[in-house]
Structure 1
Amino acid sequence: MRFLFKKRKHQYYLLVSVSLIILFFIGYRLITQKITSEAEGLMEVVVEQYAKEKKSILQFDFNEYNKFIVDAQKIIENINSSNERELRNRLLFNSELAFSEENIDASFVYFFNEGQIVDSYFLGEKNIEVEVLQKVEKLQDVNQVTDAVILLEGKPYYQEIIKYQLQDDSYVVFGYNINLLKYWNYFSQKYSGRGGYVILTTEEGVCMLHPEISYIGRYEASFFDKISSSQIVGRLSKQKNNNTEEIKVAVTSEYLNLEVMRYYDVIQIGNSNLILITSFPLNIFIKESVNNIKEYLLWMSLLALLTFMLILGFSRSQLRSQHLKALQYEKERKRLAISNEQYQQKNARLQLSQLRKKLNPHFLFNTLNSLHVLIGLDKTMSQQFVLKLSEVYRYLLKERDANKATVKEELYFLEQYFFLQKIRFNNSINLDIVNKADEKSLFKKIPFLALETLVENAIKHNEITKKTPLFIKVLIEEDQIVVSNNYNPRKNKKETGYGIGLSYLKDFYAFYRVTTFKTEVFEESFKCYLPLLSK
């Protein structure tokens, strides 16, 4: 009887085990189908997000380049042609700013009168100047931006030009050339992505960016063998109004010789359209990723089944040991969760502090009050005020490596910032910038916002009235900048000193082991010495 009882008991456990295995494979089949479907949908979302990220990066970069054309147009429209000297100086300065961009190889300004060049300014490689001038002379469109992909000395460039007719019927031409090979090298290294690749073309289909650089600068019909570039621009312009889905087409890649899914989108740069093509290999990126998920799921499921079968054979003491280990693990997990939450709170406070330093609410409040008063008095000046304010915040929000900026960048930003303060205080504050250094010194580095910090401190901590105006002087020397102001501390509140801003500058130079930074009050003047860094 005992034998029969044990036999039936073993048969019962065998039947339970077989039933569990059958249920496992049924459940695995159902779950795999569901997870596969979800994974394919998730991978498509990842692909679409990748395409949107690339679009955002390219749109930002090329619009940053296009702002030089926009600024040139504003300069020409706002300055009367009779003031020829100011017009030339402003356009030349804008051209120098454009040429300072890493990927712009040439920038130029030409003045024409009765079809002849009367003045020219060219920055860049001299061996391409003749070819650039030939293309400029053939330019027919007036008062509008012309862009094209051109070849100069065998190198592909994206050229933007504006030819503008002045009031005396003469013409001025402003433009620049972006080296597409340089830009692609920068873009592919900084924004490399897994699984897909990016192509950028003009509206006419001429290739601007491609992982195979031999395509750059020429038209490739295979990019548009399923849908033309004009259809893409037309359909996507309607989609922006109707919120329909993006254009995607399955084709054979001319680059990989594999089946890929192409996502087409349009990037608007000024009044021009560029076509972005993001391609993903279907078998390699999407299907292989889903197969990997299936394989991982199978191994995890088999491991879970094996673990479950082993647990059935464990003794109560072993189950108790596992239970105690599970409790210990849960306790440790909770401890780590609390520790992680504390870290996130500290990190959030740090980020908030940094954001508050960048966006000074007190400064914004004062500038908006000044703008409110200015709008009713001088419309033209108020428009300039808004442009300067936007330049200030664009500079503040721009990310900086190691919190450093060139002297040239800081001086340009200081001019925008001081313009806003000048509107607020009128003739009660004065700024004098004296440059006794050569051109190389302007490209040396100082702490980001160093000049603005010192000017803001001077305004904050000194009496400023018509009787006691504030005079600030910025003296640029070969190895340092000396910022000074007349020292007249405010009497209506306790003197807080030059604290937070100077601590930032002091800590910055201490990090780079520079010992020549110092401040002093000498002969009723406050002075700060900013050493220039070569890198």
Structure 2
Amino acid sequence: MTGTILLILLVAGVLVTGRIINGMAVQMSERVITQISQYHYRLLQAEFGRSEKVLAVAAQFIRTHPAASETELQVLASTLTEMDPKVGRIWFMEESRQTLRSYSRGGELQVPAPGEDLRRQVARMPDDSVRSRVNEQVWSMSCRIRDSRGAAHICGIDLPLQEMYDYMAEQNPHSRSYAILLDPEGMIVYHPNPQMLGRPANESSGFEAFREVLATGRQTITYTVSEYLGVDEERIYYPLQLGGRRWVAGIGIPRLAIEQDIDDFHFYTILTAVISVLFFATLLIVAQRRWRREYDLRRLSEQESAQLHLQQVLEQIDPHFLFNSLNSLYALIRCNPEQAREFTLTLSKVYRHVLERRKQILSTLSDEIDFTWQYYSLQKIRFGDRIELTTAIDPALRNWRIPAMSLQTLVENALKHNRITGRNPLRIRIHTEGESLVIENNYTPRSEGNAESLGVGLERIRSVYRFYTEENISISSDAEAFRCRLPLLPPEK
């Protein structure tokens, strides 16, 4: 029972701990989402910061080299595109002359496509803008500078949007998040879906969150359905400074990616809990079996000890019976020698029966009633009409058992402890009640103490019951009667 209670407490502790761990798992998932988004955000900062640095280096070169040759500009463009693989083209234009020189990756001078008036586009474009070129969307970053002679120049770089996203994806191929980037006007510059590039933000792409971050400069968390993946996601919007203006980067983390980790965490937590419970249950079973073996050994030892004690008591039966009988014979010799001789002959027959049953611990109720009547006939010689015995036994219980010679012992005690006279005869009644045997007699105790009573008989009866059953004899008395109840033991199978 103690082990079961401990097991229940362990299971309850595991359940409570599981709830705590579940709360910790939720907090952990939030931290993981924050860490993933911050990592992706810092990656965007670093990459676009490198693009700004490329533009700054190009502008500084034009500022210090107002009359740079074609070769110098080609070398510069080749070097700068190596610094930032996202840059698809670098271009320079002197505003007074409307001269535009454009260099693609590797420093190759680029000729405008038919119908493409780059000079007019450059002159009108803001410092950062998304524009369409032939078959592609391009993000242009530019700045206006004056050289050492005071001439005005426009210097810029073009980042093809699709190539830029492909390059960024290669830098973090195993990322569980994706990013979008919106310029200050709400134009989508960076998005995993090519069809969204160059389009204005809408409600599905987080326009409300974009406006909030643009206005406050603080990050914002939204829960939405990804228009790119079509699954629930948590999207965190961050402010991003580019070209002196505030842009907005949105980092989307699909819930599926995090929930898979949480499910794995729960699985291993449950597995650990189950293993712990099974391990404890195994230890409990082993301990219970060991305790059971020790208990059986202890019970065997107690039984052997009780049996030894019982044997010692049984060894006192013969002297006890003979001692009491000789006392009765002594008293009878003094008052009636003739009855004493008859008592001696009857005693020899009864004592022979005692010797035959001396090793018997339990006896059937039928045998005990018969032996009690033999003993009663012995005492009848001494007391005559001053004693009377009656029995009423249920025939169905005659094969049930009681300690051997227990009835004789109780009848003998009644003779020893009561005043027996012609006016006050001793009436003993033996009958069954339920599964018990009741011995009762009228109670007229002697005024003087009975020095002959050694208590051996009752102790022997109690010892037998302690050995065979949890029940024991019960004794009660009042002013009129003395009663003793003996439990009946089932017949031997």
TM-score normalised by L of structure 2: 0.51
> Is the CA contact 1:69–1:160 (under 8 Å) kept in the aligned structure 2?
yes
User: Which segments of 5 or more consecutive residues in structure 1 lack a partner in the other structure?
Assistant: 1-14, 240-245, 319-535
Tell me the distance in 2 between the aligned counterparts of 1:52 and 1:225: 18
Question: Please, which of 71, 81, 86 is the counterpart of residue 103 of structure 1?
Answer: 86
Residue matched to 2:246: 273
Aligned residues: 287
Q: How does 1:393-404 map to 2 (within 5 A)?
A: none
> SS in structure 2 opposite 1:293?
helix
Q: Which amino acid aligns with 1:107?
A: I
Tell me the distance in 2 between the aligned counterparts of 1:178 and 1:107: 9
> SS in structure 1 opposite 2:230?
coil
Question: Please, which of 54, 59, 68 is the counterpart of residue 54 of structure 2?
Answer: 68
Residue matched to 1:200: 181
> SS in structure 1 opposite 2:163?
helix
Closer/same/farther in 2, CA of residues 262 and 35 from structure 1, 3 Å limit: same
Residue matched to 1:55: 41
Residue matched to 2:226: 253
Residue matched to 2:261: 289
Closer/same/farther in 2, CA of residues 121 and 299 from structure 1, 3 Å limit: closer
- Once the two structures are superposed, residues 286-320 of structure 1 have per-residue CA deviations (whole angstroms, 9 ceiling, x without a partner) of 4443343233222211111111222234489x9xx
- Once the two structures are superposed, residues 57-108 of structure 1 have per-residue CA deviations (whole angstroms, 9 ceiling, x without a partner) of 11111111211221233334445x5xx347x776554333223343322222
> Is the CA contact 1:204–1:229 (under 8 Å) kept in the aligned structure 2?
no
| Higher RCO (CA < 8 A, seq sep 6+) | 2
Q: CA deviation at 1:187?
A: 1.9
Closer/same/farther in 2, CA of residues 44 and 315 from structure 1, 3 Å limit: closer
Stretch deviating more after TM superposition (220-229 or 43-52)? 220-229
Tell me the distance in 2 between the aligned counterparts of 1:208 and 1:286: 27
Question: Please, which of 131, 137, 160 is the counterpart of residue 120 of structure 2?
Answer: 137
Closer/same/farther in 2, CA of residues 105 and 199 from structure 1, 3 Å limit: same
Tell me the distance in 1 between the aligned counterparts of 2:279 and 2:33: 36
Residue matched to 1:299: 271
Tell me the distance in 2 between the aligned counterparts of 1:72 and 1:232: 31
Tell me the distance in 2 between the aligned counterparts of 1:104 and 1:226: 28
> Is the CA contact 1:128–1:153 (under 8 Å) kept in the aligned structure 2?
no
User: Which segments of 5 or more consecutive residues in structure 2 lack a partner in the other structure?
Assistant: 291-493
> Is the CA contact 1:96–1:107 (under 8 Å) kept in the aligned structure 2?
no
- Once the two structures are superposed, residues 255-293 of structure 1 have per-residue CA deviations (whole angstroms, 9 ceiling, x without a partner) of 2222221100022223133321111233x2344433432
> SS in structure 2 opposite 1:104?
coil
Residue matched to 1:421: none
Residue matched to 1:355: none
Q: Which amino acid aligns with 2:273?
A: S
Q: CA deviation at 1:207?
A: 2.0
Residue matched to 1:180: 161
- Once the two structures are superposed, residues 475-527 of structure 1 have per-residue CA deviations (whole angstroms, 9 ceiling, x without a partner) of xxxxxxxxxxxxxxxxxxxxxxxxxxxxxxxxxxxxxxxxxxxxxxxxxxxxx
Residue matched to 1:16: 2
- Once the two structures are superposed, residues 369-414 of structure 1 have per-residue CA deviations (whole angstroms, 9 ceiling, x without a partner) of xxxxxxxxxxxxxxxxxxxxxxxxxxxxxxxxxxxxxxxxxxxxxx
Tell me the distance in 1 between the aligned counterparts of 2:75 and 2:116: 20
Q: CA deviation at 1:167?
A: 7.2
* 1:171 aligns to 2:152 (yes or no): yes
- Once the two structures are superposed, residues 140-195 of structure 1 have per-residue CA deviations (whole angstroms, 9 ceiling, x without a partner) of 579xx711222212212221122335577753222121122222222223303454
> Is the CA contact 1:165–1:171 (under 8 Å) kept in the aligned structure 2?
yes
Tell me the distance in 2 between the aligned counterparts of 1:178 and 1:131: 21
Q: CA deviation at 1:232?
A: 0.9
> Is the CA contact 2:92–2:101 (under 8 Å) kept in the aligned structure 1?
yes
Tell me the distance in 1 between the aligned counterparts of 2:245 and 2:239: 10
Q: How does 1:71-86 map to 2 (within 5 A)?
A: 71-78=57-64, 81=66, 84-85=67-68
Tell me the distance in 1 between the aligned counterparts of 2:49 and 2:189: 15
Tell me the distance in 1 between the aligned counterparts of 2:254 and 2:225: 9
Q: Which amino acid aligns with 2:19?
A: Q
Q: CA deviation at 1:127?
A: 8.0
Question: Please, which of 266, 274, 280 is the counterpart of residue 308 of structure 1?
Answer: 280
Residue matched to 1:212: 193
Q: How does 1:336-415 map to 2 (within 5 A)?
A: none
Closer/same/farther in 2, CA of residues 168 and 141 from structure 1, 3 Å limit: farther
Closer/same/farther in 2, CA of residues 42 and 311 from structure 1, 3 Å limit: same
Residue matched to 1:222: 203
RMSD: 3.3
Closer/same/farther in 2, CA of residues 90 and 231 from structure 1, 3 Å limit: farther
Tell me the distance in 2 between the aligned counterparts of 1:219 and 1:128: 30
* 1:42 aligns to 2:24 (yes or no): no
> SS in structure 2 opposite 1:262?
strand
Closer/same/farther in 2, CA of residues 208 and 121 from structure 1, 3 Å limit: closer
> Is the CA contact 1:128–1:152 (under 8 Å) kept in the aligned structure 2?
no
Q: How does 1:425-504 map to 2 (within 5 A)?
A: none
Closer/same/farther in 2, CA of residues 177 and 128 from structure 1, 3 Å limit: farther
> Is the CA contact 1:198–1:279 (under 8 Å) kept in the aligned structure 2?
yes
